[in-house]
Chain A
Amino acid sequence: KDEEPQHREVFEFEFSDQPLLPCYNIQVSLSQGPRNWLLLSDVLKRLKMSARAFRTAFAHIEVATIAEAEFYKQASLSQLFSCPEELEGFLPNSTEPLDLVEISGELATLLGSSIECLDARWDPVPVATS
């Protein structure tokens, strides 16, 4: 029997006609595991909005805060951020807070992206591959 759609594990593919904002896999609190976050400052730049306007218009979108040093520590552990230039704007010892917003369908749509979903089981593994 199929699970409820919201509990089903699906691959999500975000498509955009402009380069995607950097996404960071970060654990911001001990009460939840790692999630994927965008820097609020990147989002505001892309949307050409002030932080105040964003928080007013999208009050339901949670903004999480993390110390820059902790953010750097976690982001730099990723093998996908192996290019030194990608994290060079961050200060490894700074205690300044960084605002993050979690990636969601709503945020992706706001940024002009569209989402395709794919059930991993939809395409069964063939016995012989080409």
Chain B
Amino acid sequence: FDHSKAHFYRYDEQVSLCLERSLSSSGRDKNKLTLQQKFVRCSARAEVRHLRRVLCQRLSVDKQQVQMLFNNECLPDHMTMKQLWLSHWFGKAQPLVLHYTIKDKQAR
């Protein structure tokens, strides 16, 4: 039994998410700034900041432009997906629905 990789994120429990673009997003190019693949699976140890970072990669925007929301409330960067699940989605079916907003770069 090789324990050396047992801590790897890929062996963690995974969470299933659905990332919807918030209607309040101010980004102008709506199609370009909306995820085409909005169903996401990741480690339960991933944090909101990691999700923001991959969203930036996907949508080619700056990190400061992306905000993650649950029920219109901004999520703290260091909250893990497991914390989020247990505090906001326990007892509900997968996937956990999150929203994201994209701010215009000039608006900063």
Interface residues of A (CB under 8 A from B): 7, 9-20, 22-23, 25, 30-36, 78-80, 82-83, 85-86, 103, 113-114, 116, 118, 120, 122-123, 125, 129-130
Contact = CB atoms under 8 A, between A and B. Distances in A.
Given A7-B5, A16-B37, A20-B39, 18 more contacts: A9-B8, A10-B9, A11-B9, A12-B9, A14-B40, A16-B41, A23-B16, A25-B14, A33-B3, A79-B82, A79-B86, A80-B15, A80-B44, A80-B85, A85-B93, A120-B50, A123-B49, A125-B78
A23 B13 CA distance: 9
B36 interface: yes
A30 B46 contact: no
Contacts of A19: 16, 18, 39, 95
Given A23-B16, A116-B57, A12 B39 contact: no
A33 B5 CA distance: 9
Nearest to B76: A129
A34 to B, nearest CB: 6
A13 B40 CA distance: 6
Nearest to A22: B94
B42 A14 contact: yes
Contacts of B5: 7
Contact of B85 (A9, A15, A32, A79): A79
A82 B15 CA distance: 12
Contacts of A113: 37
Instruction: Indicate the member of A7, A19, A85, A86 with the most B CB atoms within 10 Å.
Output: A19
Interface in B80-107: 82, 85-86, 90-95
A23 B14 contact: yes
B93 A86 contact: yes
Contact of A13 (B12, B42, B44): B42
